Structure formats: structure tokens, C-alpha cells
Amino acid sequence: MRRPFTHLGLGIGLRIAMSSQGEKGHVSLSELPQPAQSPRRPFSRLAPLKWILTLVFASAVCYTFQPATGGIQALWDERDGHVETAALCPQATALSPETNTGLFKTLAETYKTDSFLYRAVELLGGAVRIPTQSYDDLGPIGEDPRWETFGPFHDYLLKAYPQIHATLKLTKVNTYGLVYVWKGTEESLKPLLLTAHQDVVPVNPDTYDSWTHPPFSGYFDGKYVWGRGSRDDKSGLIGIMTAVELLLEKNFQPARTLVLAFGFDEEVSGRRGASALGDYLLSTYGENAFAMLVDEGGSISEQYGGTFALPSVAEKGYIDVRVEMAAPGGHSSVPPVHTTIGMLAELLVHYENNPIEAKLSRGTPTYWHAECLAAHAPELPSSIRSSMKKASSSDKALKAAQDELFKDPTFKALVGTTQAIDIIGGGVKSNALPENAMAVINHRIATDSSVGAVQEHVIAAFKDLAAKFNLSFTAFGTSITGDAPAYGSLALSDAWGTALEPAPVTPTGANAAPFQLLSGTIKSTFNAHRDLTEDGIAVIPSLVSGNTDTRYYWTLTPHIFRYTHYNAGNGSGLSGVHTINEACDAQNFIEMIRFFTTLILNVDESTAL
């Protein structure tokens, strides 16, 4: 915002003029620009006017380009390039409730008490003690008894959250899906939707002895709550429920309806849980009915000397390609030059050696992520920062930034379409030629690509080799080679029929009110939890590496955020998740509860959603 010219601006302009030659804010008078001198004529009467005009101009420059919080340091930083890079990734201001300031402050004091800490860890520990494991081979609900573990979990929630179950309307969808509705007083306001999942990844019984504390103990050692699901995702579910219970205990009544939806098979793609919940919410509320949605996802991370919150604003697509090879069998004593296994091996090696090229493209979440690192990561290599400042208009600069950023294999994997050969099979006996061989190739599809693009790439990669081995070639239900006689066959298909396009990209930027509100809430929570008087975190758009239940909620709102307000420090945010020694830092869990409380109150007060 441009500010009016004032006498203070004139003083700032003088300081800028003084700092233009030497170290910031330090310069000798001899270094100041001097009026022109000439022995053949006296000092000009206009010299003082020139000085005044110089100072006025400097002051005007300061007030034209100064950010809202910049001050004199802002212009110094502009000289060093920092203001220029900061414009790549503008930040929202911290946002705290105003109408409910008293309630907010009361709860903030509650979060600091030991009694609340022990209450919170016991709530999470109790949830962990119920092993709600979901398996890939689960049969229909009502027939497979392994589903029945969710019954005791529902009983636990009923006992642990009496205010919620006395006040909110509960609907069970497809037996174990949970939808809680806290009806607001203003029906014209779009509801807030918070989601999580009840199920956890199974624990391999062979690893039980490797756990520091048993995987379903919910043990609290004074710092961590241990056990499967303590991070993924019972901390999210219990964090949401605890925040709502606290608000109810303080007699809060929302103006905006709040909806909670908890699936029960996210770890096996949500086909029975979130899928049914999505259909129910769509039929009940309609398309684009919710102001915004927050599900599990990105965390808080320290990178390149900065602290960042990483809400995911999109998800990659997904397809498992099944490759099937068939050829005549026979006795292995008279083998062909290549068996089906040999041919398949050559195809797979060729495929691995010719991946889909990863490319950092403008207008994608990973490009925005790179821009924000350039703007707010103090230890980011200067070459990347310099390149990203020019990348919006220079292909050369974009390529230079990409080359440097791709030295981090994790970032490169997030940008591009990945491939991984994860399953292979073939042959039944050592002296019998294998008549069939197969493999499954997993692909995570870049946000600016598509399922069709991946299918085209696979076909192109295998077509010449199919001809080389004289194989008929069928791909995704279409014959590629026609009906010509062949030695054998090669067939490609969607392995499980679960191909998924990349998710719609959530709007970000200054005009995206939900993103701005989420960002302000994150900043407020982070700062308040640490008693910071200045901003301590930057919020940058990102991606999660996998898929969440939100795949079934795309029609409910364009404003979908996958974000878990968990402080992973300099780790990946996934330490212990899906493996041994999963544990949740208790203080981080308290901060998560604070985040959900702040979010609910901020959304309730917002007039921009």
C-alpha cells in the first residue's frame, strides 16, 4: 500500500541517500554526493534546491516501493535483491479471532497447562490402543470380521467426547464412516469441512520386538505418544475432536456450520469409506457447497535455514500399469533365445532407462514452491535464488533453476511423473519354459500431466520391443499391432482399475480467500505457540507424496488443503509413519489442537469465504 508523503519519509529518504555508498546505514560525509564545484564560477544558488529535490525523490521512492512491514530495512534489502524475491511469494499476515478474542485467550492459557497436556495425550493414547488396521484384502463389510474393530473405536469416541455426541448430529455412512454436523446459526454461510481417517496401516507382527514401546500401547513417555496411528492419522482425528469438545465446553455457538467427516479405509484407497462419505456429502449439500476443506497432509519443516508450513494444494495422479507377456511353453532343455521372463526383463530395463522427463513448469504447485524457497529460504543457494527471480520470463533461467533443484531427488520426484516396478511374477518350474510373465509398474502422475499421457508413454516405450520379439501388442483395450500372426503377446492394462487423474489445483494467491485464511491461521498458531512477537514461519504451496481421501471430495469445494500442523523440524514429516516406532510429539499434538481451534474460529468469523 502506498503511504502519503510525510516529514518522516523525508528523513528516511536522507538515510537512504546516506546508505547508498557504504555499509548499511554507515557512511562518512565525504562519501555523500557533493554539489558540482568549478573554480571559474561561484557555488550555484540552485544547489540547495537540488538537494531538496534529491531527498524528496528518495523519500518518494521509499514510500512507493516499501512493503507494509518493510521500513528502512526493506529498501536496503531491495538493493540486495530480497524485496524483489519476496514479491515471488507474498505472505499473509497472522490471523487471530477478533469477535471471540476472550474465548481464544482463555483456550490459549488452557493449552499451556500440564493438566491439559495429560488430558490430550490420554485422548490420543486411548485412540491408538484400538488397532483399527485396514488390509488390502478386506472383504465386504458385514462379512469380513476384521472390519468390526471400528465398532469399539466408535464406542471410545462416544465416551471420550460427551459434549460432541450430545450436541452434534452424527450420521454413520456405510456402517463405519462418521459425519458429525455442528449446525451454525447462519444458514447462508458455506460450511467448513474437516476430514481425517480412522484406520491405520497394519503392523507386521514380526516387527513387534523392534518397537521401543508396543505398537498399540499408546504409551506416553513424557515427550512422545507411541503407537501405530499416533501420527497417521489419529492425531488429526483426535486433534479435531478435541478442539471441538473444548469449544463446546466453553459454550461456543458457531455462526457457520462445521462438518466433520472421518473415513475408515484411507490406507487402502478409501473405496468403501471416503468414497461413500463423498457421495453422502454431495447428495446432502450439493456441489461446491463448502467454504473450504482441510484434510491430513503437509507439515511444518525446516529447509535451507527457514521454517515453512507446507499445505498441499494438489495431488499427483496415479496409475498401476500391468504388463503381461505370453509365449509358447515347452521343456527348458530346448529353449528359445528369449523366454517370456527374458523378454519382460528387457522391456522393463528399457522402461527404467527411458523415464518420463521431469520438468519444472510455470503455474504448477512445485514451481510456486520453488518461488517461495527463493523468497524466504535464507540459505538457499544464491544461484537458485537468482534463477528463480528471472524464471517467470526466461526459459534459460527456469532450466538453470530446475537443474539445481533437481539435485534434490525428493523435489525432482514431486515435480515429475515417477515410475516404480513394484511387482513381478512368472514361471512355475525350473525345467518348464514360462508361458506367462507379468509385472506391475506404479506411476505417480505430475500435476501438469494426465493418465492418458502416461498411457501414451508406456505404449511408445514398448512398441518397438514388441515388434522386435514378434509380439502382438494390446494396450488398454486397443490393439496396437493389429491381427498379424505373432510369436507371443504383450498386453498393457490398468492393473486394478483405479487410475486417478491429478487433483484439481487449489487456488492460491492474494485473491484466494481460503488460502489466505489458512495461511494466516498457520502463522497465528505457530507464533502464539512459541510466544513470538514477529512472524516465525512462511507458508508455501506444496504437494504431499501420496494420495489422501480428498480424491473423493473434489466436487464439494475447489478449496481443498491437505495439511497437518505437525512440526517435523528438519525431518521429512514422515519419520516412523507406516513403519516401526511411529510416535507423536506431545507438544506438537497440543499445537495441532491449537491450530484446529484457531481455524474453526477464524473461519467462523470470516466474511470473505
What's the pLDDT tens digit per position in 103-147?
A: 999 999 999 999 999 999 999 999 999 999 999 999 999 999 999
Domain membership flag for residue 65: no
Is the domain of 282 the same as that of 162?
Answer: yes
Domain boundaries, position 307: 101-314+506-605
**Residue 90 counted as domain residue:** no
Is residue 87, in this structure, part of any structural domain at all?
no
283-311 residue pLDDT tens? 999 999 999 999 999 999 999 999 999 99
Closest C-alpha among 349, 394, 351, 391 to residue 371: 391
Write down which residue in 416, 450, 485 finishes a domain: 416
Residues 336 and 483 in one domain: yes
- Which residues touch 143 (CB under 8 Å, ≥6 apart)? none
- State whether 126 and 191 are in the same domain: yes
Residues 345 and 385 grouped into a single domain: no
Residue 48, pLDDT above cutoff 90: no
- The model's confidence at residue 26, banded by pLDDT at 50, 70 and 90, is very low
Is the pLDDT assigned to residue 503 strictly greater than 80?
Answer: yes
Q: How many domains does the chain have?
A: 4
- Of 396, 416, 436, the last residue of a domain is 416
Residues 232 and 251 in one domain: yes
Higher pLDDT, 76 or 463: 463
242 shares its domain with 280:
yes
State yes or no: is 155 an active-site residue: no
| 564 located within any domain | yes
CATH number for the domain harbouring residue 440: 3.30.70.360
Domain end point (choices 475, 502, 529): 502
Same domain, 427 and 349: yes
For residues 251 and 171, membership in a common domain is answered with yes
Backbone φ, ψ for residue 282 (5° rounding): -65, -45
Tell me, yes or no, whether 370 lies in a domain.
yes
Crossing angle of helices 451-468/340-353, nearest 10°? 130
Does 1 have pLDDT greater than 70?
no
Statement to judge: residues 350 and 361 lie in one domain: no
Render pLDDT for 57-97 as a digit per residue (tens, 0 to 9). 444 433 333 333 333 233 324 434 444 677 899 999 999 99
Residues 197 and 343 in one domain: no
Give 2-53 as a DSSP string: -----HHHHHHHHHHHHHSSSSTT---GGGS------TTSPPPTTHHHHHHH
Contacts of 290 (CB under 8 A, 6+ apart): 190, 191, 192, 193, 259, 556, 557, 559
- What's the pLDDT score for residue 575? 58
Q: How far apart are CA 324 and CA 120, in angstroms?
A: 51
Q: From the candidates 266, 295, 582, 605, give the one annotated as an active-site residue.
A: 266
Domain membership flag for residue 588: yes
Average pLDDT over residues 582-587: 96
The answer, yes or no, to whether residue 484 has pLDDT greater than 50, is: yes
Task: Kindly tell me if the per-residue pLDDT of 491 is higher than 70.
Answer: yes
pLDDT band at 6 (very low <50, low <70, confident <90, very high): very low
Encode 222-251: b = buried (16+ Cβ within 10 Å), e = exposed: eebbbbbbbbbbbbbbbbbbbbbbbbbeee
Residues 323 and 366 in one domain: no
> Are 120 and 191 within one domain?
yes
Is 95 contained in some domain? no
> Any idea which of 40-54, 386-400, 595-609 has the lowest mean pLDDT?
40-54
Is 266 a known active-site residue?
Answer: yes
Q: Is residue 77 a part of any domain in this protein? A: no
Alpha-helical runs (H) found in 270-321: 274-285
The pLDDT > 70 percentage for the chain reads 85
Domain with 596 in it: what CATH number? 3.40.630.10
Least trusted range by pLDDT, from 13-17, 274-278, 434-438, 556-560: 13-17
* Residue 40: predicted pLDDT: 38
Identify the pLDDT of residue 482. Answer: 83
| CA 282 to chain CA centroid, nearest Å | 24
